[in-house]
């Protein structure tokens, strides 16, 4: 199985690339199936050309994009819908870095320098969990939700493993974006809630209700989670989405701004803030966020003409407003 699995290692250090590759080869991976990229742009091209089973992403990629921006881009381009295993490599395990990645739910974090035994243990755990997820999904396909309930009663791993497995099956169904599966997804997550108060399951339930625009159920759950996890990026992001879908623009902006203050690496969220600020002519905030957007955009994986055009348009809007304010001041004096 492992010999056939394809791996992408993204790190600006050739030493880390080769060290990780040697550890994987020692762990029975085939050398020909291991690819290395030195920056985010190379990684995106590889992911457009290949469907990788496992990704190792460094946070600090040197000049240009961060690993977080890369992961954001891969999700935005729908290049991870096959749900590969994702491991984050970082020498910085600060809460700000880990929280930033939490939006995209990687499978694990590996702190540099890498150690052979640690990597083997983390891989083994992830493979076992993924195999259990696949078995559960097969049970679901064969006999429906009762198959997963039977699997949970016949096996006695720790409760958290059952929770992860049920959440994984529900997530796989939700990713299919088929409305006729929504009842089964809701039933799975309800089953999970009876077993364990799981934040990942609650976040998945929020995704489901966002797709259904079931705000009656959604808003109270989001309010509860904001009280329990006031700086959780996914909770804030979903709160912003729910508010904007209900045309509560100011409230959505406030949630996005709070999320941005927790983690400033998400360019899509930053552009959303700028769009709202231009609409409400909040030029003091625009000035700060334009500087940030220009800084993050240049040489990053998001460095595209359409985003440059948007920022230039915003700068022109901001410049015109300042000129108008200046002329008004001169006229009154």
The values of phi and psi at residue 214, to 5°, are -90, 75
Tens-level pLDDT at each residue, the chain (333 residues): 566 789 999 999 998 899 889 888 888 889 999 999 999 889 999 999 999 999 999 988 877 778 888 888 898 888 988 889 999 988 877 777 777 788 788 888 888 877 878 888 888 888 888 888 888 888 888 888 877 777 766 655 566 677 888 888 888 888 888 889 999 998 888 777 766 777 888 899 999 999 999 999 999 999 999 999 998 999 999 999 999 999 999 999 999 999 999 888 788 899 999 999 998 888 889 989 999 998 888 777 778 888 889 888 888 877 755 554 444 333 444
Give kind and range of the element (H or E) at residue 162: helix 159-175
End-to-end, the C-alpha distance of the chain in Å comes to: 79
Residue 79, domain member (yes or no): yes
Given this model, what pLDDT does residue 37 score?
95
Residue 66, domain member (yes or no): yes
Residue 172, domain member (yes or no): no
Which of 82, 114, 146 terminates a domain? The answer is 114
Residue 297, domain member (yes or no): yes
Given this model, what pLDDT does residue 153 score?
66
* Distances 256 to 96, 240, 273, 279, 296 between C-alpha atoms, Å: 16, 6, 7, 15, 17
Question: In the structure encoding, which two tokens stand for residue 298, read together?
Answer: 């240049």
Given this model, what pLDDT does residue 131 score?
86
The values of phi and psi at residue 122, to 5°, are -65, -40
Given this model, what pLDDT does residue 330 score?
36
Which of 91, 114, 137 terminates a domain? The answer is 114
CB 136 within 8 Å of CB 38: no
Which of 114, 131, 161 terminates a domain? The answer is 114
């Amino acid at each position: 199985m492992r010999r056939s699995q394809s791996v992408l290692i993204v790190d600006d250090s050739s030493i880390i690339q080769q060290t990780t590759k040697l550890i994987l080869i020692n762990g029975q991976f085939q050398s020909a199936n291991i690819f290395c990229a030195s920056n985010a742009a190379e990684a995106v091209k590889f992911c457009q050309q290949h469907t990788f089973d496992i990704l190792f992403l460094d946070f600090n990629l040197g000049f240009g994009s961060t690993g977080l921006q890369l992961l954001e881009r891969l999700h935005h381009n729908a290049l991870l819908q096959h749900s590969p295993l994702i491991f984050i490599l970082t020498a910085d395990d600060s809460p700000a870095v880990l929280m930033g990645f939490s939006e995209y739910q990687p499978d694990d974090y590996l702190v540099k320098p890498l150690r052979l035994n640690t990597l083997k243990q983390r891989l083994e755990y992830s493979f076992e969990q993924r195999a259990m997820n696949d078995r559960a999904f097969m049970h679901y396909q064969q006999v429906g939700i009762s198959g997963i309930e039977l699997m949970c009663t016949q096996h006695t791993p720790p409760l958290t493993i059952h929770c992860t497995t049920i959440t994984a099956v529900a997530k796989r169904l939700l990713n299919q974006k088929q409305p006729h599966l929504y009842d089964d997804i809701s039933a799975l997550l309800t089953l999970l809630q009876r077993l364990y108060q799981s934040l990942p399951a609650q976040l998945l339930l929020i995704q489901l209700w966002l797709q259904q625009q079931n705000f009656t159920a959604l808003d109270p759950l989001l309010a509860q989670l904001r009280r329990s996890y006031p700086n959780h990026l996914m909770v804030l992001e979903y709160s912003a989405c729910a508010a904007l879908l209900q045309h509560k623009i100011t409230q959505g902006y406030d949630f996005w701004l709070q999320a941005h203050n927790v983690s400033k690496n998400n360019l899509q969220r930053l552009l959303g803030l700028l769009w709202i600020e231009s609409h409400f002519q909040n030029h003091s905030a625009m000035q700060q966020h334009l500087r940030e957007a220009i800084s993050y955009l240049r040489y990053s994986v998001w460095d595209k003409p359409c985003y440059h055009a948007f920022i230039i348009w915003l700068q022109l809007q901001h410049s015109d407003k300042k000129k108008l304010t200046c002329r008004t001041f001169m006229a009154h004096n």
